[in-house]
Every structure is written in C-alpha cells, then in structure tokens.
Amino acid sequence: MLRSLVQVGGAARSVHTTAIRRSQGGSVFSRLNPWAKTPVVTPTEATEATETTTNDTPVPVFDVKYTEEPQFVSWKAYPPIEDLETLSSTVRSVVLETVADTQESQWETVSLREVATKFSVIKETMKRTGKLIPNHVLNDIHTAGDVLAYFNQEKVQTTAAASIEKYFEDHQDSLPANMSFAPRK
C-alpha cells in the first residue's frame, strides 16, 4: 500500500493507493476470475516454433502443409455421345450387362417395368452416354427400345429447333401478320 500526499486547495491530504499487479498476459479481471486459465507455454514448444538467426532475433516458422483438392469428377461421360450407332451399341451393352437372361437379338424388347431394373439401366446409360433423360419422360419408357427411341427423338428435336428461321420463311403467308422472326445480333 502506498501513501501519497496530495495538495488540494492549500491543505495536504493523504491518499491511500495500492499497486495493481497484472498477471502475465492478462488483465485485472482475469486475475480476479478464478476460472480464467492462463496459457502455459513450455520451453520446448517455444524453441520449436521459432528459429534464431545470427542476430539472435526469433524468426517465425510456418509449417503449412498444402494439399490439393481433387477436381470435381462428373458422373457422366463428357463430351456426350452424338452418333446414333454408338448410342445404340452403348444402350445395348448396358442392357445386356444389367438385365440377366437377355438375348442379344432381342435386347430392345427387354421390359423396364420393374423399378430397380429400370433405374439401373437408365442410370448406367446416362453415365456412359453423357445424355440425360428428364423425369417427365421416365413414365413413358417401358422397354430398352424406348430409351434408344428417346435418344433418337432428342436428336431430331435439336435439329428442328435450330431451323426456326427456316420455318418462318417457309410459312410466312400462313402466319399472322404480327409474327416475324428476329435473329439475335
């Protein structure tokens, strides 16, 4: 405890003060808190974390291990198969591998009404060909030939969508006057 004299308005008064000790790395409140824990650094940890130079100044050592994340691998083939003959042979091989007791001459008539068989055939076909079959089409697929027919139909629809300008030119006289084709710029 310290005593100091303070002069206030000509009269000397003594004031009692105490020195506040701070704990290492903490504040007054951490010293008063019985649950506050101070980190204990052992001398071996301190020497492992720093290296010394010729000037005896510690240099921090960063032991960072870099790992490369694997690239995202798609579950389907890329680029998608466009050739109809290759599509047909791929669907045929999937059906022959997946469905037991299938004859090679009648693979297109194999029934896909059983849900597990239909799922495995369509999943493996989409994986190998890179082409998707949307959900709304799945109810219309009952045989392996329907899967192949969908891929053939998809090819025809893509070709037809590309010729919209030609359709407008060919049917200009039968279309209403307010309908015209404006190509993108």
For the residues 84-99, what does the mean pLDDT come to?
Answer: 92
8 Å CB contact between 74 and 124: no
Note the maximum CA span of the chain: 120
Strand partners, 92: none
Burial pattern 77-100, b for ≥16 Cβ within 10 A else e, equals eeeebeeeeebeebbbebbeebbe
Its pTM surpasses 0.75: no
pLDDT tens by residue, 102-134: 888 899 999 999 999 999 999 999 999 988 899
In this prediction, residue 9 carries a pLDDT of 62
d(CA 159, CA 164): 10
Q: What's the chain's average pLDDT?
A: 76
Report whether 80 contacts 131 (CB < 8 A).
Answer: yes
46: confidence class by pLDDT, cuts 50, 70, 90: very low
Map residue 40 onto helix, strand or coil: coil
| pLDDT at 23 (0 to 100) | 47
Closest CA to 114 of 134, 100, 135: 100
Q: What's the pLDDT score for residue 95? A: 93
The larger pLDDT score, comparing residue 14 to residue 174, is at 174
Q: Which residue has the higher pLDDT, 68 or 27?
A: 68
Span 8-34, pLDDT tens digits: 666 666 655 555 555 455 566 666 766
